[in-house]
Amino acid sequence: MRFPCFGLISLIYLSHSLNAEIDFARDVRPILNANCTACHGGVKEAGDVSFIYRERALGKGESGKPVIVPGNPDASEMIARIVSTDPDEIMPKPEHGPSLAKFQINILRQWIQEGAKWGEHWSFVPPHKHPLPSIKKTDWPVRDLDHFILARLESENLNPSRVAKPEQWLRRASFDLIGLPPTLEEIEAFKKSAAQNLQVAIEKETDRLLASPRFGERWASVWMDLARYADSVGYADDKRRDNWKYRDWLIDSFNKDLPFDQFTIEQIAGDLIPHATLEQKIATTFSRLTQVNSEGGTDDEEFRVVAVMDRMSTTWETFMGVSFGCVQCHSHPYDPIKHEEYYDFMEFFNQSKDADIDEDLPRLSVPMEKSHYDEANRLHEQIRISEQSLFTERNKIDSTTKWQPVTSVKAEAKKAILTITGREGYDEFQADPNVASGAEYVLTFPTDLKTVTALRLEILPLDLKTAAHTPEWGGIIKQMQLEVVDASGKATSVKIHEVIADEAHPMFDPNASITGSDKGWGTYSKFSKPRHATFVLDQPLTLSPDSKLRVSLKNGGTYSASFPMVVKRGRLALTDEPAWINHRGESNAVSAKRAITDARQKLKSIPSTTTPVMVEREPEHRRNTHMFIRGNWLDKGHLVKEGNTPKLFPSLKKSGERATRLDLAHWVASPQNPLTARVAVNRFWLELFGKGICPTPEDFGSAGEPPSHPELLDHLTVMFVNEKKWSVKSMLREIVTSATYRQDSSITDELEEKDRDNRLLARGPRQRLTAEMMRDHSLSASGLISHKIGGTPIQPPLPPGVWKPFVADAWKTPEVGNPERYRRSVYIYFKRSILYPLFSSFDVPPRDLSSKRRLVSNTPLQALTTLNDAAFHEAAVALSKRMQSADPSDLGKQIALGYRLATSGEIHADRTTELRNLHQQLVTEYKNSPDTMKGIAKTPEDAALAVIASVLLNLDESVTR
Amino acid sequence: MNLLQHLQHEQLTLATRRHFLKEAAFGLGGLCLAGQNLLGATAGSIVKRDEENPLNALAPSFAPKAKRVIFLHMAGAPSQMELFDYKPVLQQYDGKDCPQEYLEGQRFAFIKGVPRLLGPQFQFKQHGKSGAWISDRLPSLYKHADKLCFIKSMQTDQFNHAPAKLLMHTGNQNLGYPSMGSWITWGLGSENQNLPGFMVLLSGGRSPRAGAALWNNGFLPSVYQGVQCRSGGDPVLNAANPPGINRNIRRAALDSLSRLNTKTHEEIGDPETVTRISQYEMAYRMQVSVPEVMTIDDEPKPVLEMYGAEPGKNSFANNCLLARKLAENGVRYIQLFDWGWDTHGSSANESLKDGFVKKCKDIDQAVGALLSDLEMRGMLEDTLVVWGGEFGRTPMQENRGGGAANAFVGRDHNPNAFTIWMAGGGVKPGMTYGESDELGYRVGSNPVHVRDFHATILHLFGFDHHKLSFPFQGLNQKLTGVKPAKVVKDVLA
């Protein structure tokens, strides 16, 4: 039996469903998914039968018999096959699974009888407000949401728990909202105000926590799992990459309560927002947190495509909770999303400039100080606008230029064999397939032009047709030199003034090809159509009739993934159009160039780092997006006309002629999108209660689990969008100040029996601290913590034997006492291939891909970490010193202080006695072997106290919230 | 039962029941309510067991032949054509263009255009009464030929390393599923309460691709995850006490901690607290037992020499010796990964003539020694030794980029046919099951999919692969997944 629950569902269904109308999504789809769609679904349509779409299910199968006849189960082949006793006929086939249970058949019969109405899966239906359910214990709820929880509890004959002690609530809320324990002063103050009016105190305290700058750090760490944030590029080399400005942006966004719809839009398409701020551009690092494969032998286009697909999946799974990756190869196995729709969606992400090149471009230069952001953004814009205006001017010149194709070419080459072929009026040069890195070409040719002002070099793909959908390896011109050769053979060098690319904003400066450089103009690393550059002479060159021109091209080397960056096919053209030279003296051009130089210079003077960002290709260099046959990127199907979203959902609104990534972002963040707000609200719930209302945050589709409180999820979703205007802080406030959240977390025998997992929430949540909280807690309790916000990654102590990076990447731990050693864990350098051990022991995902939830474990390795790890040891010793400050002569007070710092609670006498006894025992032990004290303390008493501190930090109530 | 055992037991009960309740009660439909008769709901699956006593109930359905595994995974996929799958026909076609019928519709990791066939690069001879073909790269195996049970018709779905490794070890190419080691330790528990039931040893200088996901517990309780042992620093991270703390002090502190946490449990009633108490105890025991068992310093010289092991080094030989020690100490599932078998021919290190030769030298003596050692100690009969990679290699020489061939001699990935062998633990000795086609490219007869391989191993441990299941995300999840899998009966002793 595949689905363990059917026995139970049957009881419920039998008692309810015979009277009530069958609901397709609730009652039928699960049966189909469990028993039928593996063969008759989106992947396989055995016998030409599929149960994903109604029109297909009502059609005829291969046998010619109608699969489902609405209103007539007896005429429906589906039922005939399900109830058949013939082993050749029965469905599911015996080798595929057991036959359906009676109650399931009854459901299907009744459903067909009632007209075989199709119904959408719950999460694809827009949420709506539900009336508050009636409850008996009317004085319990504080918020509307409490009504839904209580109604369910009452229906199960369960009572909510008593209100948690103030310190328990405060600890819970403090960790949940800011990821840190409350300070002693905060506890005291809260206890006092709670004694006067609990709810008022709770609300005030919640506001304080939401206003804390620590709030952003805590919630950024949640989002970083989703965004697959890392400080390295991944794959085999896993080199360091500066992404941390995006982390700063996250922290900042949470702190200033950027509305969640805006938060969504900026991450998906901040670069395309009109007059985008620097922050909005930084937000798009979200999509660039994909891995870069710089391992030899890997194809940049292949891994560009992998990154594009990862962006698609991450966008779907993070914001909308629907798995989308499977649609790459075939239609969705369960949900009505078609194979083609995947590629319509791909178009949105297929136009960004990045292409898996080792330099990881484009990268935005970002000032270290936020105060310089606006200025830098203005300068970036100045460059962009000026480049665009220069490009437009030059395009105008180009459109009226008469280019004369170069013919009669004599070609020589080093490290290559060049052949010359006449084609389209040109003499094309083409290198043999085994051309090596750094090949040099010398092309000599006559011209009947009397004057030459510019020369155009065109690079062509070897196979134009294929390259149009699957690009070829390109080439780079490290240096281009032009000479004029007179009749006697004497060569004179001709000065080139500038190189003008066929795009407004080339990633590398094309002018580098004049002086000679590692990377000048070219088609690095792959290209899909002919590209050209115009080499403009310094002065018009007057030619005598018998002189010739000689062009020397030095090709690029092996930069990326061991493929030589050499031009394999090209052609030249000349012109005498004076505008190419004259143009540079015109005021527009002069001022544009000055503006660029000025802006670059000013940018240089601002101390900056970089972050990878999304930048769209210019319209004339748009990529062709094709469907991949069975998901194979090399096997291209039809050309996608423009980006679109699956038909299953409300349609996309275009702002212009073509749908853009920004349109998509608005679609995702739209109140009409049935998923985005739901998924967000569910995530808040998950963080606060340890379980989502929908328990599978990674899958809101029909293969996921349905919500425990569907009306509540709807209620919160509608509230989030309409009432709270997507404010994350307001939404969290709503939940944290509820009666549900403030319950005591003790587990009674009854609750253990009936709802051990606390899905019904008859008690408050009790969660283990996350990896980040675990370390931050020990730093906080010990007083070591440093609260500097934002900035570059930190490298706290690391156990020996762990750090073995594949390519050089030093781990430098700041010395003891340096505040950088004690900063919060959200800043720990995150290398994908070597997870920080604390992270891997405490369930942090590797972040190669987006991760939707952490499965909380409880293992001996965690105990070894918090007992023995150098960082925790250091914290324990520091805590013991802090404990002494309570009263150097009163062990009881010291223990009480330590306990409060570690657990936020008051110690009971029996625990004090336990720890006093331990202290005594340890003092004796240290006295007996004084050598042992090395590295922990100078006196047996101090050493014993340090061990007590370690015990305190390891208490169950210390590692939970 | 002493307190410790009691805690261990209670923890397992709780952990199992917790997951069981969670998944079953709120599984598909979400309407099922806790406290109802859950056993009836899952009839036919492993959950027929006594819920209160999961260890007993999880005793295998039938008498197991194997009590523990030593799984030697050659990470990167060793070439079967250079070791065990002798192809004289391929030799005849050496250097010829690969026939189109082999290329049509095929995807390769690196091969482009029309590659050339590549004959076996080393000499083969038959050995033992069974007449097993073994190449001259693994001479130490000659004398063990009649202990080995070859499957030469292995098949997988994946031709990239990470997904293929995941499929081999978790039954699924995606991240997030429990590894076979987790399944088996979940099913059987550990024979030594002071060591994890599932331990992982790495050699070859790098971690296998997909890393820790290969020994993860997935949705099974986390106590069943594989524990990676390290060669540098502590064998298990943070196994050593920090400065200022010795064993007595640690014991006293933990006794106190345990009593304090017991109080907390009495007050709060959180089952996680009980689990935590026992995990701290386990940690304490591991602090001694792991370094003890994880050192070969005290092994007699002849033993070290037999394996070619050198104390203080990180090597496959050391790991083989450690594996034997772990097996002796009751560790259920011992997983070795040896990195560096990805023989594409793109560099000397990745060439069959160079890197591959070195890799063979690295393992030959140690694998032979391990088999001899287990036999001498009478452990081979209930210890299953598995040797293999994540897929096979092509009979064609790799020609990355579409030229004639790579600079060095190598082969691309081949998921269609590959060879593994098993020994001991209830498999038929001196046997070869299945064969590849004449060129060694596809399966010729008796295909064994990775799922079948898993079903067979579970069978050796006394489990019906249909029944060793765990409810998760609405499915009764199994190591062998949803597609049909069969036990390869012919290889059972």
Question: By mean pLDDT, which of A528-537, A898-907, B47-56, B471-480 is the weakest?
Answer: B47-56
Q: Is the peptide bond before A525 cis (omega within 30 degrees of 0)?
A: yes
> Per the CB < 8 Å rule, is B261 touching A955?
yes
Q: Which of B41, B268, B484 sits opposite A8 (nearest CB)?
A: B41
Highest averaged pLDDT of the listed ranges A76-90, A442-456, B222-236: A442-456
Determine the longest span between alpha carbons in chain A, in angstroms: 108
Question: By mean pLDDT, which of A785-799, B331-345, B461-475 is the weakest?
Answer: B461-475
- Amino acid symbol at A279: E
* pTM of the shown model: 0.84
pLDDT, tens digit (0-9, with 9 covering 90-100), for B353-364: 999 999 999 999
- Nearest residue of B to residue A7, measured between CA atoms: B41
* pLDDT averaged over every residue in chain A: 92
Residue A498 clears pLDDT 90, i.e. is over it? yes
> Per the CB < 8 Å rule, is A9 touching B238?
no
Sign, CA dihedral A873-A876-A878-A881, equals negative
Domain range summary for chain B, segments of one domain joined by +: 68-154+163-236+294-408+447-491
Chain position carrying tokens 């030059």 = A394
Neighbours of A321 (CB within 10 A): 25
Nearest to residue A105, comparing CAs of A136, A74, A69? A74
Q: Which of B225, B241, B263 sits opposite A859 (nearest CB)?
A: B225
10 Å CB burial of residue B384 (0-12, 13-18, 19+) is buried
Residue A46 clears pLDDT 90, i.e. is over it? no
User: What integer pLDDT is reported at residue A205 of this predicted model?
Assistant: 98
Looking at the complex, report in whole angstroms how far the Cα of residue B479 sits from the nearest Cα belonging to chain A.
13
- Region B64-78: what's the mean pLDDT? 95
pLDDT, tens digit (0-9, with 9 covering 90-100), for B146-187: 999 999 999 998 877 877 898 999 998 766 689 999 999 888
Set of chain B residues whose Cβ sits within 8 Å of the Cβ of A753: 34-35
- Region B227-240: what's the mean pLDDT? 80
User: What integer pLDDT is reported at residue B50 of this predicted model?
Assistant: 35
- Region A311-316: what's the mean pLDDT? 94
User: What integer pLDDT is reported at residue A204 of this predicted model?
Assistant: 97
> Per the CB < 8 Å rule, is A947 touching B245?
yes
Cβ atoms of A127 and A713 within 8 Å: the answer is yes
Topology of the domain covering A402-576: Immunoglobulin-like (2.60.40)
Q: Is A626 helix (H, G, I), strand (E, B) or coil?
A: strand
Chain A interface, mutation test: which of B237, B342, B347, most A Cβ atoms within 10 Å? Answer: B237
Per DSSP, the residues of A690-739 read: SS-SSS-TT--STTSPPPSSHHHHHHHHHIIIIISTT-HHHHHHHHHTST
Domain range summary for chain A, segments of one domain joined by +: 6-119, 402-576, 870-954
Looking at the complex, report in whole angstroms how far the Cα of residue A154 sits from the nearest Cα belonging to chain B.
14
User: What integer pLDDT is reported at residue A840 of this predicted model?
Assistant: 80
- Nearest residue of A to residue B105, measured between CA atoms: A635
- Region A830-858: what's the mean pLDDT? 84
> Per the CB < 8 Å rule, is A747 touching B267?
no
CA B90 to chain centre: 31
User: What integer pLDDT is reported at residue A805 of this predicted model?
Assistant: 83
Looking at the complex, report in whole angstroms how far the Cα of residue B342 sits from the nearest Cα belonging to chain A.
13
Set of chain A residues whose Cβ sits within 8 Å of the Cβ of B248: 925
- Nearest residue of A to residue B344, measured between CA atoms: A297
Nearest to residue B188, comparing CAs of B290, B283, B54, B70? B54
Sign, CA dihedral A790-A792-A797-A801, equals positive
Element (H, E) at A380: helix A373-400
Sign, CA dihedral A193-A194-A197-A203, equals positive
pLDDT, tens digit (0-9, with 9 covering 90-100), for A320-362: 998 787 677 777 777 788 889 999 999 999 999 999 888 899 9
- Nearest residue of B to residue A629, measured between CA atoms: B105
pLDDT, tens digit (0-9, with 9 covering 90-100), for A218-244: 999 999 999 999 999 887 678 999 999
Residue A956 clears pLDDT 60, i.e. is over it? yes
pLDDT, tens digit (0-9, with 9 covering 90-100), for A870-881: 999 999 999 999
Nearest to residue A717, comparing CAs of A257, A26, A129, A319? A129
> pLDDT confidence of A421, banded at 50, 70, 90?
very high
d(CA B371, CA B421): 12
User: What integer pLDDT is reported at residue A234 of this predicted model?
Assistant: 81
10 Å CB burial of residue A400 (0-12, 13-18, 19+) is exposed
User: What integer pLDDT is reported at residue A517 of this predicted model?
Assistant: 84
Looking at the complex, report in whole angstroms how far the Cα of residue A220 sits from the nearest Cα belonging to chain B.
24
> Per the CB < 8 Å rule, is B249 touching A922?
yes
B373 or A11: which carries more pLDDT confidence? B373
Looking at the complex, report in whole angstroms how far the Cα of residue B63 sits from the nearest Cα belonging to chain A.
24
User: What integer pLDDT is reported at residue A630 of this predicted model?
Assistant: 79
User: What integer pLDDT is reported at residue B459 of this predicted model?
Assistant: 96
d(CA A648, CA A661): 19
CA–CA distances in Å: residue B239 to residues A838, B215, B235, B291 = 14, 20, 7, 8
10 Å CB burial of residue B277 (0-12, 13-18, 19+) is buried
User: What integer pLDDT is reported at residue B228 of this predicted model?
Assistant: 83
Residue A569 clears pLDDT 80, i.e. is over it? yes
Topology of the domain covering B68-154+163-236+294-408+447-491: Alkaline Phosphatase, subunit A (3.40.720)
User: What integer pLDDT is reported at residue B107 of this predicted model?
Assistant: 62
User: What integer pLDDT is reported at residue B207 of this predicted model?
Assistant: 75
- How many CB contacts within 8 angstroms connect chain A with chain B? 285
> Per the CB < 8 Å rule, is B242 touching A799?
no
Strand partners, A40: A45
> pLDDT confidence of A577, banded at 50, 70, 90?
very high
Set of chain B residues whose Cβ sits within 8 Å of the Cβ of A873: 242-243
Question: By mean pLDDT, which of A369-373, A646-650, B249-253, B309-313 is the weakest?
Answer: B309-313
Q: Which of A5, A925, A950 sits opposite B41 (nearest CB)?
A: A5
CA–CA distances in Å: residue A422 to residues A407, A425, A541 = 8, 7, 26
Cβ atoms of B370 and B70 within 8 Å: the answer is yes
> Per the CB < 8 Å rule, is A950 touching B246?
no
Q: Is A343 helix (H, G, I), strand (E, B) or coil?
A: helix
As given in the structure block, the two tokens for residue A831 are 């290398």
Set of chain A residues whose Cβ sits within 8 Å of the Cβ of B10: none
> Per the CB < 8 Å rule, is A9 touching B241?
no
Neighbours of A546 (CB within 10 A): 10
Cβ atoms of A237 and A833 within 8 Å: the answer is no
Element (H, E) at B395: strand B392-397
Cβ atoms of A838 and A877 within 8 Å: the answer is no
Looking at the complex, report in whole angstroms how far the Cα of residue A893 sits from the nearest Cα belonging to chain B.
18
> pLDDT confidence of A622, banded at 50, 70, 90?
very high
User: What integer pLDDT is reported at residue A947 of this predicted model?
Assistant: 97
- Amino acid symbol at B473: Q
> Per the CB < 8 Å rule, is A934 touching B231?
no
Residue A141 clears pLDDT 50, i.e. is over it? yes
Length of chain B: 493
Q: Which of B25, B32, B252 sits opposite A922 (nearest CB)?
A: B252
Strand duo B469-472 + A608-612: pairing: unpaired
- Region A48-74: what's the mean pLDDT? 87
pLDDT, tens digit (0-9, with 9 covering 90-100), for B236-286: 889 999 999 999 999 999 999 999 999 999 999 998 898 899 889 989 998
- Region A508-525: what's the mean pLDDT? 91
Cβ atoms of A616 and A351 within 8 Å: the answer is yes
Highest averaged pLDDT of the listed ranges A433-442, A713-722, A801-810, B99-108: A713-722
pLDDT, tens digit (0-9, with 9 covering 90-100), for B14-44: 444 333 333 332 222 222 222 222 222 233 3
Query: Phi/psi at B450 (nearest 5 deg)?
Result: -50, -35
User: What integer pLDDT is reported at residue B403 of this predicted model?
Assistant: 55
Set of chain A residues whose Cβ sits within 8 Å of the Cβ of B231: 801
User: What integer pLDDT is reported at residue A761 of this predicted model?
Assistant: 97
- Nearest residue of B to residue A472, measured between CA atoms: B401
> Per the CB < 8 Å rule, is A768 touching B272?
yes
Neighbours of A961 (CB within 10 A): 24
- Region B215-232: what's the mean pLDDT? 77
Set of chain A residues whose Cβ sits within 8 Å of the Cβ of B476: 1-4
- What one-character DSSP code corresponds to residue B307? H
Percent of chain A topping pLDDT 70: 97
> pLDDT confidence of A295, banded at 50, 70, 90?
low
Looking at the complex, report in whole angstroms how far the Cα of residue A9 sits from the nearest Cα belonging to chain B.
6
As given in the structure block, the two tokens for residue A456 are 């155009």
Neighbours of B377 (CB within 10 A): 12
Q: Is B383 helix (H, G, I), strand (E, B) or coil?
A: strand
Chain B interface, mutation test: which of A12, A96, A861, most B Cβ atoms within 10 Å? Answer: A861
A702 or B463: which carries more pLDDT confidence? B463
Cβ atoms of A561 and A428 within 8 Å: the answer is no
Give, in degrees to the nearest 5, the angle at Cα A109 between A106 and A111: 105
